[in-house]
Chain A
Amino acid sequence: MLAFLRRYGTLAGFVLILIFFVIRLPDTFLTAQNWLNITQQLSMLMVVAAGMTIVMVMGDFDLSVGSMASLSGIVAAILFSFGWPIWAAVGVALLAGLVGGLINGALVSFVGILPFVATLATLTIFSGTAFVVSGGKTISGRAIPDAFGAFAREGLPLGPVTLPNLTIVALVVVAVVWVLLEHTTFGRRLYAVGGNVEAAYLSGVPVRRLKLLAFSLTGLSAAGAGLLYASRVASANPTQGSGLMLNAIASVFLGMTMSEEGEPRILATLIGVLILGVLDNGLTQMSVDSYVRQILVGAIIVIAVSASSLSKSTRR
Chain B
Amino acid sequence: MALLSLHNVSKAYAGVPALRGVDLDIASGEIHALMGENGAGKSTLIKILAGVVAPDTASIAIDGVLVTIDSPAAARRRGLRFIHQEMSVVPALSVAENIMMGRVYPRRAGLFVDWRALHRISRDVLETLGITHIDPRQKMARLSLGDRMLVKISSAFLADAGAPARLYVMDEPTAALTRDESERLFKVLRGIRASGNSVLYVSHRIDEVMTLCDRATVLRDGKPIDSGLLNGISHDDLVALMIGRKIGDAYPPATVTPTAEIAYERPGLILHKGEIVGIAGLSGMGQTELLRKIFGDPGKAWKSGIAYVPKERRSEGLITTRPIYQNITLPHLQSQSLGGTWLTPRRERRFATTLGESVKLRAVGPDQRVLELSGGNQQKVVFAKALGGDPKLLLLDEPTRGVDVGAKFDIYSIIRDMTAKGMAVLLVSSDLPELIGMSDRIAVMRDGAIVLTTPAAGLTEEALLNLCYGRDAAAAQVA
Chain A stretch 174-188: residues in CB contact (< 8 A) with chain B: 182-188
In the bound complex, do residue A201 and residue B321 qualify as a contact, i.e. CB atoms below 8 Å apart? no
Question: What CA separation (Å) do A138 and B431 show in the bound complex?
Answer: 72
Interface locus among A72-80, A203-211, A243-251, A300-308: A203-211
Chain B stretch 299-344: residues in CB contact (< 8 A) with chain A: 299, 301-303, 308, 310, 315-322, 326, 330-331, 333-334, 337, 340-343
Question: What CA separation (Å) do A136 and B302 show in the bound complex?
Answer: 53
**In the assembled complex, how far is the CB of residue A96 from the closest CB belonging to chain B, in whole angstroms?**
27
List the A residue with the shortest CB-CB distance to B295.
A202
Could you say which residues of chain B place their CB within 8 Å of the CB of A191? 322
Could you say which residues of chain A place their CB within 8 Å of the CB of B308? 202
Which single member of A183, A187, A205, A261 contacts B330 (CB below 8 Å)?
Answer: A205
Could you say which residues of chain B place their CB within 8 Å of the CB of A188? 326, 330, 333, 343
**In the assembled complex, how far is the CB of residue A205 from the closest CB belonging to chain B, in whole angstroms?**
7
Question: B241 within 8 Å of A by Cβ?
Answer: no
Could you say which residues of chain A place their CB within 8 Å of the CB of B143? none
**In the assembled complex, how far is the CB of residue B337 from the closest CB belonging to chain A, in whole angstroms?**
5
Question: B298 within 8 Å of A by Cβ?
Answer: yes
- Which of the listed residues B52, B295, B330, B385 has the most CB atoms from chain A within 10 Å of its own CB? B330
In the complex where A195-B320, A315-B52 touch, is A203 in contact with B385 (Cβ < 8 A)? yes
Question: A192 within 8 Å of B by Cβ?
Answer: yes
Question: A88 within 8 Å of B by Cβ?
Answer: no
In the complex where A202-B310, A203-B302, A204-B299 touch, is A184 in contact with B342 (Cβ < 8 A)? yes
In the bound complex, do residue B321 and residue A199 qualify as a contact, i.e. CB atoms below 8 Å apart? no
Could you say which residues of chain A place their CB within 8 Å of the CB of B301? 204
Which single member of A183, A196, A198 contacts B320 (CB below 8 Å)?
Answer: A196
Question: What CA separation (Å) do A205 and B319 show in the bound complex?
Answer: 13
In the bound complex, do residue A199 and residue B298 qualify as a contact, i.e. CB atoms below 8 Å apart? no
Could you say which residues of chain A place their CB within 8 Å of the CB of B341? 184-186
**In the assembled complex, how far is the CB of residue A265 from the closest CB belonging to chain B, in whole angstroms?**
13
Question: A7 within 8 Å of B by Cβ?
Answer: no
Question: A6 within 8 Å of B by Cβ?
Answer: no
In the bound complex, do residue B343 and residue A203 qualify as a contact, i.e. CB atoms below 8 Å apart? no
Which single member of A185, A195, A202, A263 contacts B343 (CB below 8 Å)?
Answer: A185
Question: A168 within 8 Å of B by Cβ?
Answer: no
Question: A103 within 8 Å of B by Cβ?
Answer: no
Could you say which residues of chain A place their CB within 8 Å of the CB of B342? 183-185
Question: What CA separation (Å) do A200 and B320 show in the bound complex?
Answer: 11
In the complex where A191-B322, A195-B320 touch, is A200 in contact with B343 (Cβ < 8 A)? no
In the bound complex, do residue B331 and residue A203 qualify as a contact, i.e. CB atoms below 8 Å apart? yes
Question: A189 within 8 Å of B by Cβ?
Answer: yes
List the A residue with the shortest CB-CB distance to B301.
A204
List the B residue with the shortest CB-CB distance to A262.
B321
List the B residue with the shortest CB-CB distance to A206.
B299
Interface of A (DSSP majority class): helix
Contact indicator per residue, chain B 367-379, by CB within 8 Å of chain A (1) or not (0)? 0000000000000
Q: Please, how many residues of chain B have a CB less than 8 angstroms from a CB on the other chain?
A: 28
List the A residue with the shortest CB-CB distance to B298.
A204
Question: What CA separation (Å) do A203 and B322 show in the bound complex?
Answer: 14
In the bound complex, do residue B321 and residue A263 qualify as a contact, i.e. CB atoms below 8 Å apart? yes
Contact indicator per residue, chain B 241-281, by CB within 8 Å of chain A (1) or not (0)? 00000000000000000000000000000000000000000
Could you say which residues of chain B place their CB within 8 Å of the CB of A198? 315-316
- Which of the listed residues A185, A191, A198, A206 has the most CB atoms from chain B within 10 Å of its own CB? A185
Could you say which residues of chain B place their CB within 8 Å of the CB of A183? 342-343
In the complex where A188-B326, A202-B298 touch, is A195 in contact with B319 (Cβ < 8 A)? yes
**In the assembled complex, how far is the CB of residue A153 from the closest CB belonging to chain B, in whole angstroms?**
38
Which single member of B298, B303, B315, B321 contacts A203 (CB below 8 Å)?
Answer: B298
In the bound complex, do residue A184 and residue B298 qualify as a contact, i.e. CB atoms below 8 Å apart? no
List the A residue with the shortest CB-CB distance to B386.
A203
In the complex where A184-B342, A188-B333, A205-B330 touch, is A199 in contact with B316 (Cβ < 8 A)? yes
Could you say which residues of chain B place their CB within 8 Å of the CB of A192? 319, 322, 326, 330
Which single member of B302, B320, B333 contacts A185 (CB below 8 Å)?
Answer: B333
In the bound complex, do residue B337 and residue A196 qualify as a contact, i.e. CB atoms below 8 Å apart? no
- Which of the listed residues A183, A184, A199 has the most CB atoms from chain B within 10 Å of its own CB? A199
Question: What CA separation (Å) do A192 and B322 show in the bound complex?
Answer: 8
In the bound complex, do residue B317 and residue A199 qualify as a contact, i.e. CB atoms below 8 Å apart? yes
Question: What CA separation (Å) do A182 and B342 show in the bound complex?
Answer: 10
Residues of chain B at the chain A interface (Cβ within 8 Å): 52, 295, 298-299, 301-303, 308, 310, 315-322, 326, 330-331, 333-334, 337, 340-343, 385
Given A203-B298, A205-B330: 14 more A-B contacts, CB < 8 Å: A183-B343, A185-B334, A188-B330, A188-B343, A192-B322, A196-B318, A198-B315, A198-B316, A199-B319, A200-B319, A202-B298, A202-B317, A203-B331, A205-B298
- Would you list 25 pairs from A and B whose C-beta atoms are within 8 A, ordered by A residue? A184-B341, A184-B342, A185-B334, A185-B343, A186-B341, A187-B343, A188-B330, A188-B333, A189-B330, A192-B319, A195-B320, A196-B319, A200-B319, A202-B295, A203-B298, A203-B330, A203-B331, A204-B298, A204-B301, A204-B302, A205-B299, A205-B330, A261-B321, A263-B321, A315-B52
Residues of chain A at the chain B interface (Cβ within 8 Å): 182-189, 191-192, 195-196, 198-206, 261, 263, 315
Closest 8 CB pairs of A and B: A195-B319, A204-B302, A203-B330, A204-B299, A203-B331, A204-B298, A261-B321, A196-B319
